[in-house]
Amino acid sequence: MGTTLICVVEDDPIMGESLADRFRLEGFEVDWHIDGESALDAFGSRPYQAVISDIRLPDISGEELFSRAKATRVGVPPFVFITAYASVETAVSVLKSGAADYVTKPFDIGALVEKVRLLTGTGIPDQAMPAQSELGVSEAMRRLAEMVPRIAGRARSILITGESGVGKEVVARFVHRHSPGETLPFVAVNCGAVPDTLLESEFFGHERGAFTGAERQKKGYFEQAEGGTLFLDEIGDLPLSMQVKLLRALQERRITRVGGEREVETTFLLICATNRDLAELVRLGKFREDLFYRINILQLRVPALRDRPDDVLWFAHRFVRDIAGRLGEPIKLFHPSAEARLATYGWPGNVRELQNRLERACIVCSGNMLFSSDIFEEDGAQAVPPPNMDTPLEGYMAACESAFIRAALLQHQGHISETANALGISRKSLWEKMRRHAIAAEPHILASK
């Protein structure tokens, strides 16, 4: 996504510099003009997506700037005016003429940034909105994204928990990007994928000649992550023998390579992740209690995708866009039946399942629109077929409604009351729609419900 270009028109050097600096920090590209005429000249060649202008300027007023811009251009960018309290009447006047908004001095520059973000919409660069561009739009993921910058530079050990496929590594990389070692290595290790016989060598490294086949010195994961982040995924899969060695290395921040005699100091941010209940593993004697407390200083929990439905379509559109870019093809659109099915499916495989289903659908589907059946092969005849352009709109919309109701019934396991509540209609209305669309009340599912 390209950078959002805005225009600041402010003759006060302190105010102008403050505005330009703050918006640049927020990820915007800023042109700063100290008079209205120079701003007008720039309007012809610079594709501004918003204009922030003082009402009082040294040559022409902000009101005249806006008026002349409208007279000479088609598609004037939204204007936000800065005004003193005494000039509020003028600001209200330009609002009636089509200006977007105004703020009165003294104003909260953070609130002004939010106004401009809303006005520029999708032009907001990803880095200006990390909560949405990285982790999701649901409340749970926004809270998580807001917390990360506060802890990334202070915590030495973080534990990320959540079901398989929820995006624990995505969160870990997000933490790394907000840590002091963001420009240094991020070393990701799947603890369950390293053979037991190689664990010590892979983690701590080895010296040349330490064992058969060790033809040269090799740095282990601890040294590779020096200054950066060591991410141990599925740490609950580590055998107890390795847990002891890991605990000692974490306590002392020193390791000794296999076959070596000299201790090597290590400094890194440790992030561990697991989809297992470590406390239960401790109780069963399968995970060391002291290691559990060492890595569980600060825990971040990533909710299952079914518990944050707001993120489903947000992820879906991002994945389809990214897949199209990778394949060099136009971005595929979602049919309403597909969006309804995506929003109501339970996602047992979480974000990973969503991504895999969409990647397959984009590769297999030859058209430019994804239908429910493209994403969910198991839906079969329940999916709405591609529309016949000769079909009346009323019939096509009825087909979409039928698909939505079927998906809702499936989501709520056939419970009529729960489905009706989710759809925002009465039980009677739901039964009538089911009869109209010939949706059978399966006896083994819907009886007595």
Pairing of strands 29-33, 5-9: parallel
Same domain? 297 vs 315: no
> d(Cα 67, Cα 84) in Å, to the nearest integer?
20
Whether residue 264 is contained in a domain is answered as yes
Whether residue 441 is contained in a domain is answered as no
Cα-Cα-Cα-Cα torsion 86, 88, 91, 93, nearest 10 degrees, comes to: -110
Q: In angstroms, how far apart are the furthest CA atoms of the chain?
A: 85
Whether residue 291 is contained in a domain is answered as yes
Whether residue 431 is contained in a domain is answered as no
Cis peptide before 106 (omega within 30 of 0): yes
Same domain? 137 vs 79: no
Same domain? 100 vs 240: no
DSSP 300-346: EE---GGG-THHHHHHHHHHHHHHHHHHT-PPPEEPHHHHHHHHH--
Last residue of a domain, one of 95, 126, 157: 126
Same domain? 273 vs 178: yes
Domain of residue 55, CATH code: 3.40.50.2300
Phi/psi at 177 (nearest 5 deg)?
A: -70, -15
Chain mean position to CA 441: 39
State which residues form the domain around 345.
Answer: 310-411
Same domain? 62 vs 196: no
Whether residue 426 is contained in a domain is answered as no
Same domain? 185 vs 247: yes
Same domain? 146 vs 80: no
Whether residue 420 is contained in a domain is answered as no
Same domain? 282 vs 141: yes
- Full-prediction pTM beyond 0.85? no
**CA-to-CA separations, 7 to 310, 394, 437, in angstroms, rounded:** 34, 46, 54
> d(Cα 10, Cα 53) in Å, to the nearest integer?
6
Last residue of a domain, one of 126, 156, 181: 126
DSSP 81-125: EEE-GGGHHHHHHHHHTT--EEEESS--HHHHHHHHHHHHGGGS-
Q: How many domains does the chain have?
A: 3
Going 357 to 363 to 369 to 371, the CA torsion angle's sign is: negative
> d(Cα 447, Cα 55) in Å, to the nearest integer?
68
Domain of residue 402, CATH code: 1.10.8.60
Domain of residue 161, CATH code: 3.40.50.300
Same domain? 42 vs 85: yes
> d(Cα 231, Cα 270) in Å, to the nearest integer?
6
pLDDT tens column, 103-123: 887 788 888 887 887 777 533
DSSP 164-201: TTS-HHHHHHHHHHTSTTTTS-EEEEEGGGS-GGGHHH
Same domain? 352 vs 289: no
Q: What integer pLDDT is reported at residue 390 of this predicted model? A: 53
Going 347 to 348 to 353 to 355, the CA torsion angle's sign is: positive
Same domain? 151 vs 120: no
> d(Cα 332, Cα 10) in Å, to the nearest integer?
43
Taking 50 as the pLDDT cut, the residues of the chain under it are: 1, 122-131, 133, 381-385, 387-388, 442-449
Last residue of a domain, one of 272, 301, 330: 301
Whether residue 447 is contained in a domain is answered as no
Whether residue 435 is contained in a domain is answered as no
Same domain? 26 vs 11: yes
Strand partners, 187: 230
Going 420 to 426 to 431 to 435, the CA torsion angle's sign is: negative
Strand partners, 80: 52, 101
> d(Cα 19, Cα 22) in Å, to the nearest integer?
5
Phi/psi at 22 (nearest 5 deg)?
A: -65, -45
